[in-house]
Amino acid sequence: MKKLITISTLAVALFTGTGFSAQAAESYKVQSGDTLYNIGKTYGVSAKEVQEINNKGNHLIFPGESLQLPKTVSEEEKEVLAQLVHAESKGEPYAGKVAVATVVLNRVDSEHFPDSIKEVIYETTPGGVYQFSPVQNGEINKEADEEAMKAVEEAIAFHGEGKNSLYFFNPDKTNDQWIRTRPVTKTIGNHVFAQ
């Protein structure tokens, strides 16, 4: 499996308010009331990866238990992903924003796409066209709103638990016939998600 991360575990980032703030940790001591999902959100890591690297067969954790944390997504990559989500998903439901972020994370994991969030977002086709229209038209350069940042946080925390969507499109805005041949995983708002 390809690495999702481009930085060390010492630069863990957390969304707060309208920006990101760093949380540094390589391990975490479980507190009463903790869940893997909440730990994932706090430290910007996948709850599933926390479960896997700690050899847990289920989601049960216990106060006082020490958990190793996986590497995290860099602040820079979270920001650019949130900007993409904001530009691609204006007017879409929150679940659709999470799904757009998840597509990028799934591409990072796929052997058919680049190995980092930023490389996936800025990848071009052989003809020099960017994979995502907001990169092509400059909309990605606009600041992300709080909902887009929250959607990225949730996508990272739930990473690896989706339907492996690698693509999304708005059927009312594209004439691309190839994308319509891909197996559909779900439809949220105006976006169709596909493998």
Q: Are residues 104 and 24 in the same domain?
A: no
Q: Are residues 29 and 97 in the same domain?
A: no
pLDDT in tens, 89-114: 999 999 999 999 999 999 998 999 99
Asked if residue 2 belongs to a domain, the reply is no
Q: Are residues 93 and 139 in the same domain?
A: yes
Asked if residue 133 belongs to a domain, the reply is yes
Q: What's the confidence (pLDDT) of residue 40?
A: 82
Q: Are residues 137 and 100 in the same domain?
A: yes
Q: Are residues 147 and 58 in the same domain?
A: no
- Whether 126 shows a pLDDT value over 90: the answer reads no
pLDDT in tens, 133-178: 999 999 999 999 999 999 999 998 887 666 789 999 999 988 889 9
Which residue carries 């350069």 as its tokens?
Answer: 141
For 42, the domain range is: 13-68
β-partners of residue 191 are: 188
Q: CA dist 38 to 30, 33, 50, 52, 110, Å?
A: 11, 9, 11, 16, 26
Q: Are residues 83 and 48 in the same domain?
A: no
Asked if residue 127 belongs to a domain, the reply is yes
CATH number at residue 79: 1.10.10.2520
Number of structural domains in the chain: 2
Asked if residue 1 belongs to a domain, the reply is no
Q: Are residues 44 and 84 in the same domain?
A: no
pLDDT in tens, 177-189: 999 999 999 999 9
Asked if residue 8 belongs to a domain, the reply is no
For the whole model, what pTM was predicted? 0.73
Q: CA dist 162 to 3, 105, 124, 142, 148, Å?
A: 18, 10, 25, 28, 18
CATH number at residue 23: 3.10.350.10
Other CB atoms within 10 A of residue 57 CB: 6
